[in-house]
Structures are given as C-alpha cells and as structure tokens.
Amino acid sequence: MTDKQIPKPRPSIQTALPALLLGTATFNTQYVADPHSMPYRDIVARAISLGVTGFDTSPYYGPSEVLLGEALNALFTSPSDPLSRESIFLVTKAGRIAGDEFDYSPAWIRYSILRSLKRLHTAYLDLVYMHDVEFVPPADVLTAVRELRRLRDEEGVIRYVGISGFPAGVLAELAEMVLRETGEPLDAVLSYGHFTVQNRKLALPWVTEGGEQQEDLRKSSPLVRLKEAGVHVVLNASILGMGLLTRRGIPADPETPAGADSPFTKWHPSPSGLRLACKNLADIAEAAGERLESVAIRWALEEWARVGAAAGLGVDITSHAVPERRRVGATVCGVTSIPELEETVAEWQDVLAGLDRASESNGGCYGTERQKKVLELVKNELWPALGTWIDFVWDSPGEGYVNTRRPEDKGRVPDDGIIAAFELSKNSEENVGTQKPE
C-alpha cells in the first residue's frame, strides 16, 4: 500500500463526507442503452473540476464500478497533474448481486469489497453500504455490518459503514437494531426515492404546513428514529424518482413504441397510474416556464439541505459561498451527460449562495428568487395535481419476491484471483514492515 493509498484518519463522517455526490447508477443499462459509449471519463473529470468530489457506485450497477474506476484511474495516473486519492470520497455497496439475488455472508462481503478495490483502483473505500437491506432478514444485515466493521478495523480497507434501501421505516428499524445489538451506531444511511417532489415520506413533518410543530409526526418520523439510533448522516438519493420526475417520464404501457424503446419500462417498479400522474407534472412545469427535471432537482436539493441539517443528520461544509462551516443535508445525484451534471451543480451552488440569507421571516427559504419560485410551484401546483399519488410508495420487495441465491451458494466466491492477489499484497507489506493504517 503506497503512501497515497493509506486511508486517512477517521474523523466524524459529518466532517469528511461531501454534501453533493455523483451517483453512478446511471452508468448502467438500466438508464442508457450502452454505458460504455457514455462520456463517463469526461463526466467524472468535469464533476471534480466543478468541486464534486464524492462518488457513489455499486457492483449491482452493471459496469458502473469498472467505468468509474477507469475514469478515476486516468486522473490518478495523469502525468501532468495526478489526482490524489485522498482528495475524493469513494462510496460503494455490497450484498446485492442481481435483481433477486442477495448474499450477505461474511465471505461474499469480503470478496465483494476486495473486487471493488480492484475495479476502483484504490486500496481503501471511504464508505460502504449494505445494499438494499429490506430484501434480506435483519440477522443477515447484522452479520454483514459486523463483517464490514471487521474489514474496517482489522484489514483497513473501509473507513465508514452504513446501509441503504427503499422503505424508510425499515432503514430506521435496522439502524435501531444495529445500535441495540452492537452498541455502535451506523455511520451513514442512504435513503432513495423517499424525499422527492412526489414522495416526501422520509421527512413529512418538515415539508408540510406547520410541520415542525407537529410533534406526534416528528416523533414517528424515520429521520427522528434514525437520529435516535445514533446514525450520523442520512443521504438522499434518486431525487428524480429513478426517471419518474422527468419530461420523458416512464412509459405507462410497455407495449407501446415509447415503452418498448425505454430502458426503464421493464424494471421500474412504479404502477402505470403513478407514471401518468408524474407525466402530468411535466406539462404543469412547462406551462410555468420550467422543466420538471429542474424543478425536482432544485426542490430536493434545497429542501434536503434544510431538512437534513434540521434533523441533525447533515454534513459540515465550507465553500466560497459559505465561508464559515455550516451543516446541510447531503444528496446523491445521478447524471448521464455533462449538461445534466452542470445543471445540477449550478442549482446546488445557488442553494449554497442563499444559505446566508435564510431567515424566519421567509419561512426557511434560503433567500433566492429561484428557490421561492420553485417552492411555490411545487406547493401550489405540483402537489395538488398528484392527488392520491402524493407520497405513494410501492412495495419493496415486491409481491412474490424470493432470494434466488441458493443457501448452499451463500459464501461461495469465484476463484478469480482477487482474494489471492490481496493476500499476496498484504503479506508483502507485512514482510517489509509496512505499518498497518489505523
């Protein structure tokens, strides 16, 4: 392990985690026909040049880890201005192999982590989540979290440990279990699709009229439960509802030409009624001179910055716009092009620019005209238009789900040389007296 690859000390994750991360689930056939033809190297390089230094991926996302690793390695090995590993924050996941296949056994988790190290061209990962924890028994989650912590403490290949998933209540239950059973809280929880213009269930008391005064709702909120379970940071992801909150939307009928041509149709779990309701939002936004994507991105970024901080589950940041350290909610945003990236970052920078102008007199709005317009459009037009589909959540797992990983195959890992290469490298370091990182 080279000096540049040795993990940094472990301060509180609230001071280490960036407030905006680039999610690379989009580097996958679920979002684009051919991920290898995407300008993924340019996207990653442009993100870093714009100040986005956090990257979120998973082995479940098809070629995502490999593509992200290639893009980062080109920057790590640049002959003119190499990127230092410690200047970025790398996040991946473990445990989900395929749509209905999960293996949370210690042997598979260790293998998955070592494979991710190789794919991402790094000797350590800043944060690892157990992926989509609602699909396995709680006991399996506990076993896997313990293995991640062992990899953190004994092998030095992980800095922080967390869980990710869809049902916010399940995330809270599992965070409570981890604290109860181990005495140590999770560093981070990734919630996706539960804090969007359509679905606000992660933090309803904070985004409805008079919500902060609704004590009963606050006490039952997943955010309050996660905070009481000792979780340090909750990240918000899938702010476009995995494609629902876009002008293109998700075709309601997979048999139509539009549906047949859409990569989302087969796998997206939303019912047709919700897809049509969200498509209607695009028309309303257009009538107001806006793109639905822009409104959805801006609302989620600005509101989660506020709510994540208010719940005590945000991260500390400094920037040119906010020179003094401030706490904001952290968000993961996925893009498929540089214009999408630049739009997201521009919205985020405007959110930051308004932080210092926040006041009680404007109802918590950070103080830019853009934010005021978006908040009014969402509250007065988009939410009423959703009708019964507001805060609708589909089941996860869906009806009839069965883990296709056979019991006898759990813990069985490929003989592809990844573990052997890691052990050889570790033994070589020990033989030359390399000090193990703390």
For residue 355, give the DSSP letter. Answer: G
Cβ pair 246, 292 in contact under 8 A: yes
H helix intervals, 55-203: 64-76, 106-119, 138-153, 168-182
At 437, list the tokens.
């990182």
Which residue in 31, 40, 60, 61 is the catalytic one? 61
**Maximal CA-CA distance, the chain:** 68
Phi then psi for residue 263, to 5 deg, are: -70, -15
* 233: helix, strand or coil: strand
Helix (H) or strand (E) holding 34: none
Secondary structure (H, E, C), 235-298 = EEECCCHHHCCCCCCCCCCCCCHHHHHCCCCCCCCCCHHHHHHHHHHHHHHHHCCCCHHHHHHH
Residue 61 catalytic?
Answer: yes
Distance between alpha carbon 259 and the CA centroid of its chain, in Å? 27
Taking the C-alpha atoms of residue 262 and residue 132, their distance in angstroms, rounded to an integer, is 24
- 201-239 b/e (C-beta count within 10 Å ≥ 16 → b): bbbbbbbeeebeebeebbeebbbbbbbebebbbbbbbbb
Taking the C-alpha atoms of residue 188 and residue 168, their distance in angstroms, rounded to an integer, is 13
Report the catalytic residues: 61
